[in-house]
Amino acid sequence: MTRPIYLDYNGTTPHAPEVVEAMLPFLQTEFGNPSSSHSYGLRPKRAIIESRAQVARILGCSPSEVLFTSGGTESNNHALKSIGGSRYAKGTHIITSSIEHPAILEVCRFMENHGFTITLLPVDADGLVNPSDVAAAIRADTIMISIMHANNEVGTVQPIAEIAKLARQRGILMHTDAAQSVGKIPTSVDYLNVDLLSVAGHKAYAPKGIGALYIREGVEAEMFCHGAGQENGRRAGTENVLEIVGLGKACEVAGAEMAMHIDKMKNMRDRLEQGLAAALNDIRFNGHRKHRLPNTSSVSFRGLEANRLLEEIGPYVAASAGAACHADHVEISHVLKAMRVEQEWAKGTLRFSTGRFTTEDEIDRALEHIVAAVKRLRR
Ligand SMILES: Cc1ncc(COP(=O)(O)O)c(C=O)c1O
């Protein structure tokens, strides 16, 4: 049976072959505990050191600033709660945006119930946060600004460096959720000027259940998980060596081949958008035209219902309505709402996301199925 054409790389990515190859020994023979002093622990221990360096390289930071986590969600939780804890005496106000992933928004909601105050910034029609809104929201008790680097649904890339400059001038810590951008576009922490940055492995051809958090040297963050002191005492628990190795390799490959992959993803995404625009009326693309991930296309099919369209194309094309992580029903996403996309457009919005394995032939076949389905449903 042939499987649908995969156009949901923002939902998750397949494992890169290099990643699988790097992980194999750790599934087979290298099962040792990296904390063991006997010889079984040696290779796992060395592998973690190498992986940390590989992750550090793609972020342009020092390995000691990389903390392994279980993924984007944990990294975001850790960033907000640990800084909230360590800076509590200084202030309790946090600034974020209305289009963040639930892995930020729900953490903020939790923190609100524990004495913090959250400001949710609006975005414009392209999904951009305006740095002057950030400046206006800053208060004497603001301790942290957390704005996502790239949005998972519409792909808009935020002016993080500009926002971070405002934060730095006022002694406020800057975090960015880079779950969707690491491996897709450059994510140097110095260029972005951030103090903390979240990485999600499974968006970058590594397995699910692994991620990282960059914490700038000197930034005090409360310990997240108490126990035997792994990860320099910051996150206890025997390390997920297998997946740490996978994440390291994924970052190495992504860093070495980034320009090539950007071209490829963008060509495939643009081919899809051009094909849709040429064949169909009443469609529009959401997200910033220029400041957008190279692989993401959020398309609104006016008057249609996203779930119906997904059902129609489902046997042939795998895409998503709203954010993949929490969507099995169509409810206008909080991102499109924040961008004030009108109801008749928003309810018929699908997200297609291309990746390094997407081919021209796949895009052309996907186009045939999508165009035919839209015409059928509109009839
Ligand atoms: C922007 C963003 N942040 C965080 C996450 C959560 O990452 P993870 O699935 O690794 O927990 C996702 C996943 O969709 C995401 O797109």
Per-residue pLDDT tens for 162-211? 999 999 999 999 999 999 999 999 999 999 999 999 999 999 999 999 99
Catalytic positions, please?
Answer: 325
Q: Which two tokens stand for residue 260?
A: 């090539």
Query: What pLDDT is recorded for position 341?
Result: 96
| pLDDT score for 134 | 98
To which residue do tokens 């524990």 refer?
Answer: 114
Residue 326 has pLDDT above 60, yes or no: no
Q: In angstroms, what is the span from residue 81 Cα to ligand 1's centroid?
A: 17
| Closest ligand 1 atom, residue 74 Cα | 11
Q: Which residue, of 256, 287, 305, is where some domain finishes?
A: 256
235 beta partners: 225
325 lines ligand 1 (CB under 6 A): yes
177 pocket-lining for ligand 1 (C-beta < 6 Å): yes
**Per-residue confidence band for 322, with pLDDT thresholds at 50, 70 and 90:** low
- Specify whether 222 is located in the same domain as 169: yes
Q: What is the pLDDT of residues 235-292, one digit of tens each?
A: 999 999 999 999 999 999 999 999 999 999 999 999 999 999 999 999 999 999 999 9
Q: Is residue 217 within 8 Å of 83, Cβ to Cβ?
A: no
Mutate-to-test residue for ligand 1 from 73, 99, 182, 199, highest number of ligand atoms within 8 A of CB: 73
Same domain flag for 148 and 283: no
Is 73 close to ligand 1, i.e. is its CB under 6 Å away?
Answer: yes
d(CA 307, CA 370): 13
Q: Whose CA is nearest to atom 4 of ligand 1?
A: 72
Check residue 93 and give its pLDDT: 98
Q: What is the pLDDT of residues 112-149, one digit of tens each?
A: 999 999 999 999 999 999 999 999 999 999 999 999 99
At 328, is the pLDDT very low, low, confident or very high (cuts 50, 70, 90)?
A: low
Residue closest by Cα to atom 5 of ligand 1:
72
- Residue 304 sits in the same domain as residue 236: no
CA 178 to centroid of ligand 1, rounded, Å: 9
Per-residue pLDDT at 325: 35
Tell me the CATH number at 40. 3.40.640.10
Q: Alpha helix (H) ranges present in the chain?
A: 17-28, 42-59, 72-86, 102-112, 131-137, 160-169, 189-192, 241-256, 258-279, 306-313, 334-338, 343-346, 360-378
Report whether 157 contacts 291 (CB < 8 A). yes
Query: Alpha-carbon distance 302 to 293, whole Å?
Result: 23
* Cα 17 to middle of ligand 1, angstroms: 22
Whether 237 and 271 map to the same domain: the answer is: no
Whether residue 174 sits in one domain with residue 109? yes
Helix or strand (DSSP H, E) at 67 = strand 66-69
Residue 327: predicted pLDDT? 47
Give yes or no: residues 283 and 363 share one domain.
yes
Rounded alpha-carbon distances, angstroms, from residue 86 to 92, 290, 342: 11, 38, 42
Q: Does residue 79 sit in the same domain as residue 228?
A: yes
Among 226, 256, 286, the domain boundary falls at: 256
Same domain, 48 and 173: yes
Domain membership of residue 361 as a residue range: 5-14+258-378
> Residue 268: which CATH number?
3.90.1150.10
For the Cβ of 206 lying below 6 angstroms from any atom of ligand 1, the answer is: no
279 contacts 371 by C-beta, under 8 angstroms: yes
Task: Specify the DSSP class assigned to residue 150.
Answer: B
Looking at the structure, tell me whether residues 137 and 241 fall in a common domain.
Answer: yes
Given a cut of 70, is residue 330 above it in pLDDT? no
Average per-residue pLDDT for the chain: 96
pLDDT of residue 324: 36
Number of domains the chain contains: 2
Distance 106 CA to ligand 1 centre (A): 12
Range in 226-240, 303-317, 325-339 with the lowest mean pLDDT:
325-339
Residue 12 Cβ inside 6 Å of ligand 1? The answer reads no
Q: Are strands 349-353 and 317-318 parallel, antiparallel or unpaired?
A: unpaired
Say whether both 63 and 173 belong to one domain: yes
Residues 26 and 168 in one domain: yes
Q: Which of 203, 236, 256 is the last residue of a domain?
A: 256
- Please, which pLDDT band fits residue 331 given cuts at 50, 70 and 90? confident
- Are 246 and 288 in a shared domain? no
CA 43 to ligand 1 center in whole angstroms: 30
